[in-house]
Amino acid sequence: MKRFFLFAAAAVCMVLAGCNGHREDTLFIAQVSEPVDTVVPVVEVPFREKLLTAADVTLTKDLLYDTYTLEDTYPYKDTVRSFKWDVIRNCLAYIENMQRDSVKWVVLQNYKNLNREAPLVRKFVRNAYRRVADTLGVERYQSVPLYLPGDTLVPERYGRDGTLAYLLGEEGGFSRILPITLEDEWLVPRRYLKLLADSTVFRHVIFVDRLDQNIATLERMDKGEWKIRSMNPATTGRHAPPYAQETPLGMYLLQQKKSRMVFLKDGSAATGGYAPYASRFTNGAYIHGVPVNVPRTAMIEYSWSLGTTPRSHMCVRNATSHAKFVFDWAPTERSLVVVIE
């Protein structure tokens, strides 16, 4: 099985070359020039099943959460922002196509280095935060080492926590995987992988647009048919070393939920407050409600900063009632979070 996925500079989801070996059997009449008394055999010829494209995906607004709802396009200061439905259709077509076969899913996991700090990659740099990263910008901290097949001594690069992958097989103490957002197969030590249930199906997808600072939730009803469940303002992570980081582009599994996610004050071990209804998708990045800073304890429903400019440490801030909607609506380990721009 070979699937290709591309997040371009604009994070546009699209399927690259290859039909992944999907096929259906059909009857094909061979067109040959033969005498009229010759019996023309019916030849069974397999052909590749057609992949869904963005044009095959229909989106219908059927909101389950209708507070603070944005229009498809809306003004922001001296410009216009929007929900990128064409990009979203491309992504949804890919998500449906990647689930057509019976596969074993795994997720890359190393939240707070709980599965051991990843070894140094062959070529590494110090990023703006003075932390080790591979040459593609993925940090060592909370990441998973990816080894080239045939070379399990030194990892080639890092894979982000929360990345979904196909499990292709086992080789010694390693698993062979194909991440859905990378083109190549990799070997990964088993301790960094979590096997998902065989019944796993992804019908809930959350799209975060870090350029236009909005969030949309969509739910699959049938083949190519998706309903839009909410369209809201959001605030993503900002680049502000050494503490705040951008929300990373990509596709991730919703892995964990906390009704209150406690956070620390920058540069301190002291509690800074909590974020309500937090749903974690990669590293320490959560979709959550408006942060509550100590000494306050009561939840805050809305903030003027939502939908403006990146202000978070990596997370995706929402109105607290929308964060609760996501928290209740999106099942853990069966929902995807796609960050675009």
> What would the pLDDT profile of 98-149 be if each residue is shown by its tens digit?
999 889 999 999 999 999 999 999 999 999 999 999 999 999 999 999 999 9
Reply yes or no on whether the pLDDT at 8 is more than 50. Answer: no
Q: Is the pLDDT of residue 35 over 80?
A: no
Rg, Å, the chain Cα set:
23
CA–CA gap between residue 201 and residue 274 (Å, rounded): 31
d(CA 9, CA 249): 10
With tokens 């070529």, the residue in question is: 123
Mean pLDDT of 57-76: 98
CB 210 within 8 A of CB 310: yes
Amino acid letter at 181?
A: T
The residue-averaged pLDDT of 267-280 equals 96
Mean pLDDT, all residues of the chain: 89
Q: At 91, list the tokens.
A: 């992504």
Give yes or no for a cis peptide into 295 (omega within 30° of 0): yes
Instruction: Determine the average pLDDT of the residues in 289-295.
Output: 97
Q: Binning pLDDT at 50, 70 and 90, where does residue 26 land?
A: very low
Binning the chain into helix, strand and coil, the percentages to the nearest 5 are: 10, 40, 50
Provide mean pLDDT across the span 38-62. 77
Which pLDDT band, with edges at 50, 70 and 90, does 2 fall under? very low
Confidence of residue 41 (pLDDT cuts 50, 70, 90): low
Question: pLDDT for 185-214, tens place per residue?
Answer: 999 999 999 999 999 999 999 999 999 999
User: Are the C-beta atoms of 166 and 176 separated by less than 8 Å?
Assistant: no
